[in-house]
Structures are given as structure tokens and as C-alpha cells.
Amino acid sequence: RTPAPVGVFGPGWKAPSDIRLQLRDDALVLNDNGGRSIHFEPLLPGEAVYSRSESMWLVRGGKAAQPDGHTLAWLWGALPPDIRLSPHLYLATNSAQGPWWILGWSERVPGAEDVLPAPLPPYRVLTGMA
């Protein structure tokens, strides 16, 4: 069961960008902005899966193009190559016209021995939705 969501605007508020993906050994769990948990089988790089109950696609990066005739072929091809080819990124969409929600991390994941919070870097890379 998913705990009540706390979005970027605080408890009780939700925004379209308030979705999270949990990577587990036996499943992928997409927590949507309403607090629901949508379960998917683990994906290989470049693999795509569709949830009929949620009308949502989940695609793992790691492939330059989707097969001809695939529902997401055009939308996938419109993404920058560094996003399409990264097996560390997962992308979700509820329409063949977009937009994509890009799910991944932009920086190194801290290790158990790291002191948190880490000191701020001299600059930051800004990330967003495509």
C-alpha cells in the first residue's frame, strides 16, 4: 500500500509532475500523483509496456528507435538521443502525442558511507519534463 502522497506543494496538494518510480528486483512500481501504485514487470533496456487499466505506457531507455508501426515510434523518435539511449532512464506517457514524464536521477546516488546532506556543488544541472 502506498502512503498518502506529499507533493511539491505539500500534503494534500498534487501536481502532474508528482510521480515516482520504484525500481525493485521483481517489479517496477509507479506511484502516481493521486497516491495510487501501478505495478509493472521489470523492463529490459528499450522495452515498452502498456497498462490498459491506467491507459499509460512505461518505456525504459536504451534503444535508438521503436519498431515501425509501434504506437510510440514517432514520439520516441522525437526524444533527444541521449535520453532514448540511456538504460538508466524510464519514461511514462498516457498518449502517443506526449508529453513524456522522464523518470530517473540526474546525479550520483549517495552511498551508505556518504555524509548527508552533501555539500552543494558550485553549479547545478537543471532538469525538467520534455
Query: pLDDT for 2-38, tens place per residue?
Result: 566 677 777 777 787 778 898 888 999 998 877 788 9
Question: Does residue 57 lie in a domain region?
Answer: yes
Question: Does residue 99 lie in a domain region?
Answer: yes
**Residue appearing with cell numbers 553549479:** 123
Residue type at position 130:
A
Backbone φ and ψ for 104, nearest 5 degrees, come out as: 175, -175
Count structural domains, the chain: 1
Q: Give the range of the structural domain holding residue 85, as residue numbers without chain letter.
A: 6-103
Question: Does residue 113 lie in a domain region?
Answer: no
Tell me, what's the pLDDT at 10? 79
DSSP state of 36: -
Query: Helix, strand, or coil here: 60?
Result: strand
Question: Does residue 90 lie in a domain region?
Answer: yes
Question: Does residue 125 lie in a domain region?
Answer: no
Facing residues of 103 across strands? 90
Phi-psi map region of 23: left, alpha, beta (phi>0 left; psi -120 to 50 alpha): beta
Name the pTM for this structure: 0.72
Contact 100, 93 (CB under 8 A): yes
